[in-house]
């Protein structure tokens, strides 16, 4: 709506200036007619992130997901990109993760491989030694199924369900929800809602606050527009 108004308002203003119209019908402020009911995803503070990671690491139930949580907090990957990763995408020697696709589940429960969200989403993501070790642990602990499922020509996904199918974003969103609930059941100081996207937002915010060049951060986040990257952390 903002884009359409941006095109129509100057066109109708020309008509007003030429006395064809008395008033510009698109001269209104969008905020006056459209209520912004979007929910802002807030990044965690560094202290919150450390406490949550420690909790997951030490918890008897959720410790098996520690590497995943650590990776999402320290790479800024979209969860669909993470779900789409295969063993071949992880170059431990050079500490590079190849991101050129994402895994999605359609409404009819069909699994499909799709291109990254934007053309800029295709990238070679350098990772730290700690993140590389997390990937190594995941690969070493991965139970090889009797038959590797193939989704649109891709196979060797990092995490599989009981049927041997790769996990999708919804699985991880549910697990994050359960982890946060367990944390808040134990500790008096509550943890805010944490989702895989909050991990991504937190990574972006932390890198910006550490002084990373915005163009570099734009590449790492896979954003096609640097304005998107700047807006992601400008509120924090």
**Active-site amino acid positions:** 78, 117, 197, 200, 223, 233
Beta bridge partner(s), residue 99: 123
Q: Alpha-carbon dihedral of residues 92, 94, 99, 104, nearest 10 degrees? A: 0
Residue of 138, 131, 129 lying closest to 199 (CA atoms): 131
- Report whether 166 contacts 149 (CB < 8 A): yes
> For the chain, first and last CA: distance in Å?
27
Residue 121 DSSP one-character state: G
Residue of 178, 202, 233, 198 lying closest to 65 (CA atoms): 178
């Amino acid at each position: 709506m903002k884009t359409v108004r941006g095109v129509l308002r100057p066109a109708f203003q020309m008509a007003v200036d030429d006395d064809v119209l008395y008033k510009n019908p698109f001269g209104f402020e969008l905020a006056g007619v459209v209520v912004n009911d979007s929910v802002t995803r807030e990044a965690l503070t560094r202290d919150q992130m450390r406490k949550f990671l420690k909790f997951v690491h030490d918890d008897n139930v959720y410790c098996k997901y520690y590497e995943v949580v650590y990776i999402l907090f320290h790479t800024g990957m979209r969860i669909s990109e993470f779900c789409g990763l295969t063993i071949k995408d992880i170059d431990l020697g050079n500490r590079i993760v190849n991101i050129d696709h994402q895994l999605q589940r359609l409404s009819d429960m069909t699994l499909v491989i799709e291109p990254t969200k934007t053309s800029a989403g295709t990238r070679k993501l350098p990772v730290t030694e700690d993140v590389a070790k997390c990937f190594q642990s995941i690969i070493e602990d991965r139970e090889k199924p009797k038959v590797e499922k193939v989704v649109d020509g891709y196979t060797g996904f990092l995490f599989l369900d009981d049927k041997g199918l790769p996990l999708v974003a919804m699985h991880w969103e549910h697990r994050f929800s359960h982890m946060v609930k367990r944390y808040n059941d134990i500790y008096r100081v509550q943890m805010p809602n944490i989702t895989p996207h909050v991990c991504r937002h937190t990574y972006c915010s932390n890198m910006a606050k550490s002084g990373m060049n915005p163009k570099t951060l734009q590449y790492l986040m896979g954003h096609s527009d640097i304005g998107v990257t700047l807006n992601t952390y400008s509120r924090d």
